[in-house]
Structure 1
Amino acid sequence: MEANSRPHESFSACRASHKIGMITMPFATNASGVPGGSNEPQRCDLIVHNATILTVDANDRVVRTGALAVRDGRIVALDRQEKIFASYASDQLFDAAGGAVHPGFIDAHVHVSQYTARSVLPLMEGTSVTMGHWKGGLTPEDEYASARLAALDYLQCGYTGFVDPGTVFDPDAVAAVADEACVRIWLTDPYVADGGEALAADLPELVSENFLARWPRNTDEALKRLGGQLFRNRNPNSLVKAFVGLYGEATDSPELYQAALSLARDRDVRFQEHLGYLPAFQLKREKALGQPLLRWFEERGFLDSHVTFTHMNLVREDEISLFGKYGLRVVWCPWGQLQMFGKDGAQPRMVELHRAGVKVGIASDIPRVADFDVLGSLAASAAAASGRSAMPREILRMRTLGAAATIGADGELGSLEVGKRADFVVRCPNASVNFGFDPGLELGVIGGRHTVKAVYVGGRQVVDGGKVVTLDEDAVIAAAHRSARALASRTGLRA
Structure 2
Amino acid sequence: MIVIENAAVATVDAEDTYHENGHVVVDDGRIVAVGAGSHAGPADRRIDGDGCLITPGLINTHHHLYQWATRGLAVNDTLFGWLTTLYPIWGRLDAEIVGAAAGAGLGWLALSGCTTTMDHHYVFPRDGGDVLAAEIEAAARIGVRFHPTRGSMDLGRKDGGLPPDNVVEETDEALAATERAIDRWHDPSPEAMLQVAVAPCSPFSVTSKLMSEAATLARRKGVRLHTHLAETDDEEDFCRERFGCTPVEYAESLGWLGDDVWLAHGVHLGDDAIARLGATGTGVAHCPSSNARLGAGMARVRELLDHAVPVGLGVDGAASQEASHLGGELRQALYTARLRGGPTALTARESLRMATMGGARCLGREGHLGSLEPGKLADLVMWRLDGLGHDGIDDRLAALVLGPPAPVELSLIGGRPVVERGALVHADAEALTREARRAHDRLLSKT
The two structures have a TM-score, normalised by structure 2, of 0.87
Would the aligned equivalents of 2:102 and 2:139 in 1 still touch at CA under 8 Å?
A: no
Judging changes above 3 Å, is the alpha-carbon distance between structure 1 residues 291 and 60 closer, same or farther for their aligned structure 2 residues?
same
- What are the within-5 Å matches in structure 2 for residues 203-214 of structure 1? 203=162, 207-208=163-164, 212-214=165-167
Q: Does 1:448 align with 2:405?
A: yes
Q: CA, structure 1 residues 254+241, in 2 after alignment: closer, same or farther (shift >3 Å)?
A: same
* Larger-gyration structure (1/2): 1
Query: How many residues end up aligned between the 2 structures?
Result: 430
Q: 1:91 — aligned with what?
A: 44
After TM superposition, give the deviation of residue 163 of structure 1 in Å: 1.1
Residue 360 (structure 2) aligns with: 404
Shift of 1:202: 6.7
Indicate the residue corresponding to 1:140 in structure 2: 95
Equivalent residues of 1:55, 1:416 under 8 A apart: yes
- 2:203 corresponds in structure 1 to 249
* Structure 2 match to 1:307: 261
Report the alpha carbon displacement of residue 466 of structure 1 after superposing the two structures with TM: 1.0
**Mapped contact 1:376–1:446 kept (Cα < 8 A):** no
Contact 2:225 2:260 in 1 (8 A): yes
Scaled by the length of structure 1, the TM-score of the pair is: 0.79
Which residue of structure 1 lines up, in the alignment, with residue 104 of structure 2?
149
Structure 2 contact 334–346 (Cα < 8 Å) conserved: yes
1:367-400 CA-to-partner distances (Å, cap 9, x unmatched) read 4343414322332332233235422211111112
Equivalent position of 1:352 in the other structure: 303
Across the aligned residues of Structure 1 and Structure 2, the Cα RMSD in angstroms comes to 2.8
Could you give the per-residue CA deviations for residues 107-135 of structure 1, whole angstroms, max 9, x where no partner exists?
Answer: 211110111321244699x9x99311221
Q: Is the 8 A contact 1:166 1:246 kept in 2?
A: no
| Contact 1:374 1:446 (8 Å CA) reproduced | no
**CA distance in structure 2 between the partners assigned to 1:142 and 1:479 by the alignment:** 9
The Cα of 1:145 is off from its aligned counterpart by 0.7
Which SS does the other structure have where 1:164 is aligned?
strand
Aligned residue type for 2:413? V
Match of 1:6 in 2: none
Q: Distance in 2 between matches of 1:398 and 1:105?
A: 9
Partner of 1:33: none
Q: Is the 2:215–2:255 contact (alpha carbons within 8 Å) kept by the matching residues of 1? A: no
Q: Within 2, Cα distance between the matches of 1:66 and 1:319?
A: 42
Which residue in the other structure is 2:422 paired with? 466
Same amino acid, percent of matched pairs: 28
Q: C-alpha distance in 1, partners of 2:404/2:361?
A: 23
Residues 113 and 146 of structure 1 are in contact (CA less than 8 Å); yes or no, is this contact kept in structure 2? yes
Question: What is the identity, as a one-letter code, of the residue corresponding to 1:274?
Answer: H
**Structure 1 residues 480, 81: CA separation in 2 closer, same or farther (over 3 Å shift)?**
same
Cα distance 1:292–1:475, how it changes in 2: closer, same or farther (>3 A)?
Answer: closer
**What are the Cα deviations for residues 176-213 of structure 1, in whole angstroms up to 9, with x where unaligned?**
12221111221122x42332338x9575xxx44xxx42
Check if 1:325 corresponds to 2:279.
Answer: yes
Contact 2:161 2:204 in 1 (8 A): no
Amino acid at match of 1:111: H
**Distance of 2:177 and 2:289 partners within structure 1:** 30
SS of the residue 1:331 aligns to: strand
2:173 equivalent in structure 1: 221
Residue type of the alignment partner of 2:96: E
Distance in 2 between the 1:363 and 1:382 partners?
14
Q: Which amino acid aligns with 2:378?
A: A
Where does residue 433 of structure 1 map in the other structure? 390
- Structure 2 distance, partners of 1:480, 1:347, is 31
User: Which residue of structure 2 aligns with residue 184 of structure 1?
Assistant: 145
CA distance in 2, matches of 1:336, 1:202: 22
**Structure 2 CA distance, aligned partners of 1:247 and 1:98?**
43
CA contact (8 A) 2:292 2:298 kept: no
What SS class does the counterpart of residue 100 from structure 1 fall into?
strand
2:312 match: secondary structure: strand
Separation in 2, partners of 1:325, 1:294: 13
Which deviates more, 62-71 or 308-317?
62-71
1:258 is paired with a residue of what secondary structure? helix
> For residues 74 and 131 of structure 1, do their structure 2 counterparts lie closer, same or farther at Cα, with a shift above 3 Å needed?
same
CA distance in 2: counterparts of 1:77 and 1:483, whole angstroms? 44
